[in-house]
């Protein structure tokens, strides 16, 4: 009993620590990456290569005054940032980093992550509504319609993977792919010839679900000031920020687990967890790369992409996979 308690406590601390550390240093990566893509140095002042920038930023955010504007709906205004961070931390509970490094493996791991991820849009709604600000409200309406639109193809694609594996257990899904890199679900053309397409759909959807450019309509600064977090200052803003980066990490982890063979290593030089992290950070680099390469789409383009292209393709993919599984 007490050992379980220690395990739980350790897992909670580790999950929060991992989320916070990633949030801090992914911002640094993002700024360095942006600098690299735009041919400028990025942060250089604090520490070597600007490596001390994140802690300094953190101190700045924490010491700023937390302003609660007069007209806001106080309860919603306070709850929204917490709700932005909470689902991300909950999702880390069931993500297996390697055979042994997982806080609590559940046989419905995939479902649990999506259940908590779907609570994220609630936080955007509350933030936008609670701010009592036209721009915030418009932004949250956009962000929510976007996340509803992209949750559907994402879940359908995940169902395809779950059907192929026959389990919702993330560990089982990975173990199904560890034989070699040709067993990874992206390359599993024998199971379903459209697997690379599924991977692409899932990746696009995870970009959209995390409100990243080119799909960051929710915080389009040229139209909406800063979107749903316009009225937030200090750590209120900080929590939204951390939530966003934690969601990026979870998106990359899920893509790795579902399609890229999790901790399975192509030639086995390093222990599994390092391969897992390597894949995750390569995906995150791709996230950053895309953000600083593509311009923002329009809201209609965004919704059309989901409802008219991604959903039909993923439905077709689902039917095809089901048919193939039935026949063979």
The contact set with another protein (CB under 8 A) reads 1, 73, 75-76, 106-108, 111-112, 114-119, 121-122, 125-126, 129, 137, 140-141, 144-145, 148, 151, 168
Nearer to another protein, 26 or 117 (CB): 117
Nearer to another protein, 73 or 274 (CB): 73
d(CA 42, CA 45): 9
CA dihedral 297, 300, 302, 303 (to 10 degrees): 170
Nearer to another protein, 56 or 155 (CB): 155
Q: Output the smallest distance, CB 52 to another protein, in A.
A: 39
Q: Output the smallest distance, CB 118 to another protein, in A.
A: 2
DSSP secondary structure letter of residue 231: T
Sign, CA dihedral 270-274-275-276, equals positive
Q: Output the smallest distance, CB 144 to another protein, in A.
A: 6
User: In terms of Cα–Cα distance, which of 127, 82, 295 is closest to 226?
Assistant: 127
Nearer to another protein, 98 or 145 (CB): 145
Opening angle at CA 22, ends 103 and 268, nearest 5: 65
With a CB cutoff of 8 Å and minimum separation 6, the contacts of 42 are 31, 32, 33, 34, 35, 36, 50
Q: Output the smallest distance, CB 107 to another protein, in A.
A: 6
With a CB cutoff of 8 Å and minimum separation 6, the contacts of 205 are 150, 151, 153, 154, 157, 310
Q: Output the smallest distance, CB 79 to another protein, in A.
A: 8
Q: Output the smallest distance, CB 71 to another protein, in A.
A: 11
8 A C-beta contact, residue 87 and residue 94: no
Nearer to another protein, 229 or 291 (CB): 229
DSSP secondary structure letter of residue 228: G
**Token pair 């493996």 is at which residue?**
105
């Amino acid at each position: 009993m007490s050992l379980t308690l220690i395990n739980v406590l350790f897992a909670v601390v580790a999950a929060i620590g991992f989320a916070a550390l990633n949030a801090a240093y992914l911002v640094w990566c993002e700024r360095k990456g942006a600098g690299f893509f735009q041919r400028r140095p990025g942060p250089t002042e604090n520490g070597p290569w600007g490596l001390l920038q994140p802690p300094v930023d953190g101190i700045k955010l924490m010491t700023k005054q937390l302003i609660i504007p007069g007209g806001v709906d106080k309860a919603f205004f306070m709850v929204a940032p917490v709700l932005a961070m909470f689902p991300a931390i909950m999702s880390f509970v069931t993500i297996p980093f390697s055979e042994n490094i997982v806080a609590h493996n559940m046989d419905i791991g995939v479902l649990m992550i999506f259940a908590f991820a779907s609570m994220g849009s609630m936080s955007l709604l509350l933030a936008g509504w609670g701010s009592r600000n036209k721009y915030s409200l418009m932004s949250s309406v956009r962000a929510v319609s976007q996340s509803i639109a992209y949750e559907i193809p994402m879940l359908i694609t995940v169902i395809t993977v779950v059907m192929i594996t026959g389990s919702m257990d993330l560990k089982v899904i990975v173990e199904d792919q560890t034989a070699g890199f040709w067993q990874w679900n992206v390359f599993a053309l024998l199971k379903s010839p459209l697997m690379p397409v599924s991977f692409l759909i899932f990746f696009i959807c995870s970009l959209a679900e995390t409100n990243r450019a080119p799909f960051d309509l929710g915080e389009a600064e040229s139209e909406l000031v800063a979107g749903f977090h316009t009225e937030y200052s200090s750590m209120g803003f900080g929590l939204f920020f951390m939530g966003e980066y934690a969601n990026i990490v979870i998106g990359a982890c899920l893509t790795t687990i579902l399609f890229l063979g999790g901790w399975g290593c192509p030639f086995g030089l390093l222990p599994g967890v390092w391969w897992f992290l390597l894949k995750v950070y390569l995906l995150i680099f791709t996230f950053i790369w895309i953000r600083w390469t593509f311009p923002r789409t329009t809201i209609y383009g965004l919704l059309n992409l989901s409802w008219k292209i991604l959903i039909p393709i993923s439905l077709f993919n689902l039917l095809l996979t089901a048919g193939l599984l039935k026949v063979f």
